[in-house]
Structure 1
């Protein structure tokens, strides 16, 4: 990732210069489109969910023209750095490791509980636990004594791994897992919730400081008037508000 950052420095600087000069520019919002309720594709193939509503409102308040693009999770940071889009808005938790490569806006959600889902009682001290690759949940499992991490490219594959016996449990955001556990009679929330990360923020190239500040001001505006809390309550019931 450090190599990618170096080879794309010129492109990133050009992007920042365009913003500084005030030139009209369409800001591309990159998301996964596969992690409800944060982001998903609706029946028309358009990005929907909590982050669609948040992103559209942030762009309006920042007086930015924005468009949505989708990108697979495992390459979402490299493709931001290489200029394929300008912002990541994809349920990405703020972590020190990621902050070494990109910058983050202020958080637009508080740290959200992660939960385990399995098909009955599971001994976590010796369990095989699935997680989406490159997530804070995968890092947490890797640090658990005795547990074995199995990683998958998509969140759907982690659920399938539990159902077909490849894994004893899956760890992911509770807001993602809870509706699945309620809809699947063989699956249930097990064990204690785990609080990970420093909240969810927009990922922005390190060279785009002016863009970051525009979004920070818009996020603060939504916090101040309560509109952000309303969207959290609508899409992420039970999550902490600001």
Structure 2
């Protein structure tokens, strides 16, 4: 059994090295359900801030890229197993995630986390809070010892508040702003929480060459100001100073 495990690990390493040498096609994994970061447009294509960013990063790194969508709750395991080569899905860089995968430098600063509810009179400590499974927001609510209900998609967290299954949603402020725009029944509360580090691309720990290519491309966009322009266009986070 040990020999089988060692052989499998060796094959994975060899495959990763071969990929790093060729970079024929880089598969960009995203959720496609977290506007304005990433979403599926009317043409059925990945769209949003990260689609525009990812395409530009691939161009600068001289890589041929294709887009793959994956449910959030399995997005890291499916990267590790090789179903795609990067995660570019509004993923905050955290020590816990960094133990499993590698990250590029951040391509946005941390986005504030906010509450959305049907009333401004909300005490989170004595309420039922909805959050998406596997997010830093869900982890925060659990760590506080507050009542948490988790859902697979961000849309379900919003629906849970409307259905009376939860008193509030706890999520990235940029997502919530778009999700409740033009809707009078839900209110964005003024209180926000700073969670996690910035947002970066996730890669397998063995793909160091690919990470270096994307790191250089991100840095070039920071240096010429084009990254701040994209952040401002899509209103996903504060600008880099």
TM-score under structure 1 length normalisation: 0.93
Q: Does residue 86 of structure 2 align to residue 62 of structure 1?
A: no
* Counterpart secondary structure, 2:130: strand
Query: RMSD of the TM alignment (CA)?
Result: 1.8
Cα deviation for residue 17 of structure 1 reads 1.2
Cα pair 2:116 2:186 within 8 Å, conserved: yes
Query: Could you tell me which residue of structure 1 aligns to residue 151 of structure 2?
Result: 152
How far apart, CA to CA, are the structure 2 residues paired with 1:141 and 1:77?
A: 21
Cα pair 1:11 1:82 within 8 Å, conserved: no
Q: Does residue 84 of structure 2 align to residue 85 of structure 1?
A: yes
Cα deviation for residue 239 of structure 1 reads 2.2
Q: Structure 1 pair 240/127, CA: closer, same or farther in 2 (3 Å)?
A: farther
Q: Equivalent residues in 2 for 1:99-114 (5 A)?
A: 99-114=98-113
Query: Could you tell me which residue of structure 2 aligns to residue 125 of structure 1?
Result: 125
- Structure 1 unaligned spans of 5+: none
Q: Does residue 152 of structure 2 align to residue 134 of structure 1?
A: no
Q: Equivalent residues in 2 for 1:1-242 (5 A)?
A: 9-10=9-10, 12-20=12-20, 22-120=21-119, 121-145=121-145, 147-236=146-235, 239-242=238-241
Cα deviation for residue 235 of structure 1 reads 0.4
Cα deviation for residue 24 of structure 1 reads 4.8
Cα deviation for residue 15 of structure 1 reads 3.8
Q: Structure 1 pair 202/123, CA: closer, same or farther in 2 (3 Å)?
A: same
Cα deviation code 1:101-132 (max 9, x no counterpart): 00000000001101000000212121100000
- Structure 2 unaligned spans of 5+: none
Structure 1 residue runs of 4 or more that deviate by more than 3 Å after TM superposition: 5-12
* Counterpart secondary structure, 1:29: strand
Q: Structure 1 pair 11/196, CA: closer, same or farther in 2 (3 Å)?
A: farther
**Number of corresponding residues:** 236
TM-score under structure 2 length normalisation: 0.93
Q: Structure 1 pair 13/186, CA: closer, same or farther in 2 (3 Å)?
A: same
How far apart, CA to CA, are the structure 1 residues paired with 2:6 and 2:59?
A: 32
Q: Structure 1 pair 7/232, CA: closer, same or farther in 2 (3 Å)?
A: farther
How far apart, CA to CA, are the structure 1 residues paired with 2:131 and 2:72?
A: 13
How far apart, CA to CA, are the structure 2 residues paired with 1:187 and 1:174?
A: 14
Cα pair 1:162 1:168 within 8 Å, conserved: yes
* Counterpart secondary structure, 2:22: coil
* Counterpart secondary structure, 2:53: helix
* Counterpart secondary structure, 1:51: helix
Cα pair 1:158 1:170 within 8 Å, conserved: yes
Cα deviation for residue 8 of structure 1 reads 6.6
* Counterpart secondary structure, 1:223: helix
